[in-house]
C-alpha cells in the first residue's frame, strides 16, 4: 500500500478582494511536500495574487493559509520568510549596480547578523561571517551554474538576462527554503534559455534537498516536463486539478484559455 503524501501548504476558502474586484474566490487547494506543482490559468486568473497572499504581501479578505499545520494567514512577509518560504517575481527585482554576491546574500538575512553594533564593532566576527557567506554563495553558484561562480564579484548589470534570472533564483535558494514559489521564470527569455534555467533548478534540487516548488508558467512544455500535478485557476476559482495530461484535456480549461465557440 502506497503511503499518503504529506501536505506542506494548504489554503482553505481563500478570498482576496480589491474593492469590487475578487482576485481569489474561496480558493481551496493544497501542496504536497516535495512535489512540483504547476499553477496555471489565463492572465488575471489570480495566480500571482495567490503568491502575494501566501508570502504576506497581501492580507487575505477571508479564508486561511497553513504551512506545516501552522496558521500563516496574517503573517508578515518577514514571518513567512522565517518559515522557509521564498519566491521569485515575474519582473526583475535585482539591484543592477550591486555584485552577484551582494544580490544573492540579500536573500540570506535569516542567517546573517545585520545589527549595526555587530557590523561596526565586532569586526573579526563580521569578517568570519562574511567569509562564510562568500563560501555559501560560491557553493550554490557552483551547483546551480559553475560559470556564474567566476562572476561572483561582477555587477549584475554586466550579465545577460538568463544569468540575471539565475541570480534571482539563487537569491531565493540561498536560505535553503522548504517551499520555493517561482513566478513565470521564463519571462524575458527564449525557450532554450528557460530550459537551461529549469535544468539548473532541478540540479540544485537533486543535489541539495528535494524542496517543494509551486511554478507559475505559461510555457506549457515546461509545465509538462517539470510538474507532477497541476491546478488551474480562472477568475480566482479553481477549475481543474490533476496531471498535465488531465488538465490540458479538460473542456473547462480549454474554454478558459481559448474561449467558447
pLDDT in tens, the chain (261 residues): 445 679 999 999 999 999 999 999 999 999 999 999 999 999 999 999 999 999 999 999 999 999 999 999 999 999 999 999 999 998 888 999 999 999 999 888 766 555 555 565 565 776 777 788 889 999 999 998 899 999 999 999 999 999 999 999 999 999 999 999 999 988 888 889 988 998 888 888 888 778 999 999 988 888 999 999 999 999 999 999 999 999 989 989 888 876 655
CATH homologous superfamily, domain 1-84+176-261: P-loop containing nucleotide triphosphate hydrolases (3.40.50.300)
Contact call for residues 36 and 226 (beta carbons, < 8 A): yes
Task: Yes or no: say if 193 and 117 are a contact pair by the CB < 8 Å rule.
Answer: no
Domain with CATH 3.40.50.300 in the chain: 1-84+176-261
Q: What pTM was computed for the model?
A: 0.90
* CA separation for the pair 150, 259 (Å, rounded): 49
Could you tell me if 53 and 14 are in contact, meaning their C-beta atoms sit under 8 angstroms apart?
yes
| 56 conformational bin, left if phi > 0, alpha if psi -120 to 50, beta if neither | left
Amino acid at each position: 500500500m502506497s503511503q499518503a503524501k504529506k501536505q506542506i501548504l494548504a489554503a482553505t476558502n481563500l478570498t482576496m478582494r480589491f474593492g469590487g474586484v475578487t482576485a481569489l474566490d474561496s480558493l481551496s487547494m493544497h501542496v504536497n511536500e516535495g512535489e512540483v506543482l504547476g499553477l496555471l490559468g489565463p492572465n488575471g486568473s489570480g495566480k500571482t495574487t495567490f503568491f502575494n497572499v501566501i508570502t504576506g504581501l497581501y492580507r487575505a479578505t477571508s479564508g486561511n493559509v497553513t504551512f506545516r499545520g501552522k496558521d500563516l494567514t496574517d503573517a508578515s512577509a518577514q514571518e513567512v520568510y522565517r518559515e522557509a518560504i521564498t519566491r521569485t517575481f515575474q519582473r526583475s527585482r535585482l539591484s543592477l549596480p550591486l555584485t552577484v554576491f551582494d544580490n544573492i546574500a540579500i536573500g540570506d538575512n535569516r542567517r546573517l547578523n545585520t545589527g549595526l553594533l555587530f557590523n561596526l564593532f565586532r569586526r573579526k566576527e563580521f569578517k568570519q561571517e562574511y567569509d562564510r557567506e562568500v563560501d555559501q554563495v560560491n557553493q550554490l553558484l557552483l551547483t546551480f551554474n559553475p560559470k556564474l561562480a567566476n562572476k561572483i564579484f561582477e555587477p549584475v548589470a554586466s550579465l545577460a538576462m538568463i544569468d540575471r534570472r539565475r541570480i534571482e533564483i539563487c537569491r531565493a535558494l540561498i536560505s535553503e527554503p522548504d517551499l520555493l514559489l517561482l513566478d513565470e521564470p521564463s519571462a524575458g527569455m527564449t525557450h532554450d534559455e528557460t530550459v537551461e534555467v529549469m535544468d539548473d533548478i532541478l540540479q540544485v534540487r537533486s543535489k541539495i534537498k528535494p524542496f517543494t516548488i509551486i511554478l507559475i508558467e505559461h510555457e506549457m512544455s515546461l509545465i509538462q516536463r517539470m510538474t507532477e500535478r497541476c491546478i488551474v485557476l480562472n477568475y480566482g476559482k479553481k477549475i481543474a486539478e490533476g496531471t498535465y495530461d488531465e488538465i490540458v484535456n479538460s473542456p473547462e480549461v480549454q474554454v478558459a484559455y481559448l474561449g467558447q465557440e
